[in-house]
Amino acid sequence: RKEVEQDPGPFNVPEGATVAFNCTYSNSASQSFFWYRQDCRKEPKLLMSVYSSGNEDGRFTAQLNRASQYISLLIRDSKLSDSATYLCVANNAGNMLTFGGGTRLMVKP
Amino acid sequence: NAGVTQTPKFRVLKTGQSMTLLCAQDMNHEYMYWYRQDPGMGLRLIHYSVGEGTTAKGEVPDGYNVSRLKKQNFLLGLESAAPSQTSVYFCASSDNGDSSAGAQYFGPGTRLTVL
C-alpha cells in the first residue's frame, strides 16, 4: 500500500464547476501536509499547506482529518488555468516529504 | 531571487557515459534533495542533504552519487549512465524552520535520456 494515495483521475469538469480531490495517508506520525500543483512537463509548485482547522486561499480550500488520515482539496469556480495534476504530500519527519501519485484535473470550456 | 535553478535543462547520454547535474538555490536553505520522476511512478527521492558537507541516501540511490560542498549547491552525478536512468530529475530545497513546516521548493528539472 502506498503511503499517500490519490485517485489518479482524470477529473473532467466544465468551467465554473466545483471539484474536490481526496487523499489518504497511512503514516499516523505525519506532521504536516501540502497540496502541490504540477503542470505538464514542469516542476511541482506549492499550492497550499493543509492545517487541521482547514484553510482557504481564494477559490481553494484544504481540509485535514487526522482521525481518518484524510486530506481534501476543494476548488470552486474552476478555471481553464486550473487544469494540472494535483499532488497530495505528507511530511513524515525531518523535512522528508512523501508524494502521492497525483490527481489529474482537466477543466473544459 | 532566482529560487532553485538546475543545469542543464536537457541532456542525451550514451550508455556508460558520465555526467553531473548541478542544482543551486539562493534562499539560504539548509536542506536540499534530488528526485526523479517517471511516468506512473511519481516522485522518488534519490539522495538528500541536511546541510553543507552532509549527504544521505533516499529511496532510489543506486547508480547515483551526490556532493554538497557549498550550502547553495547540490550536485548529482551519474558515473556510468544506463537506459534505466532516463528520467526527469528535479532538485528541491527547504529550510528547517517551523514556519515552513518542511515545504520544498523545486527547480525546473533536467530531462535526461540515456541511449
pLDDT of residue B20: 97
Residue B96: per-residue pLDDT: 74
Among B9, B36, B37, B104, which would you mutate to test the A interface (most chain A Cβ atoms within 10 Å of its Cβ)?
B104
> How wide is the angle at C-alpha A49 spanned by C-alphas B1 and B6, nearest 5°?
35
Query: Over the stretch A1-44, which tens digit does the pLDDT of each residue have?
Result: 678 999 999 999 999 999 999 999 999 888 889 999 999 989 99
Low-confidence ranges of chain B (pLDDT < 50): none
pLDDT of residue B100: 64
In chain A, the percentage of residues whose pLDDT exceeds 70 is: 99
- The shortest CB-CB distance from A99 to any of B42, B48, B102 is to B42
**Residue A47 pLDDT level (bands cut at 50, 70, 90):** very high
CA dist., res. B48 & res. B106, Å (int): 13
CB distance from B48 to chain A under 8 Å?
yes
Give me the pLDDT at residue A95, please.
78
Query: φ and ψ at B85, to 5 degrees?
Result: -90, 5
Mean residue pLDDT of chain B comes to 93
The residue length of chain B stands at 115
pLDDT at A52: 82
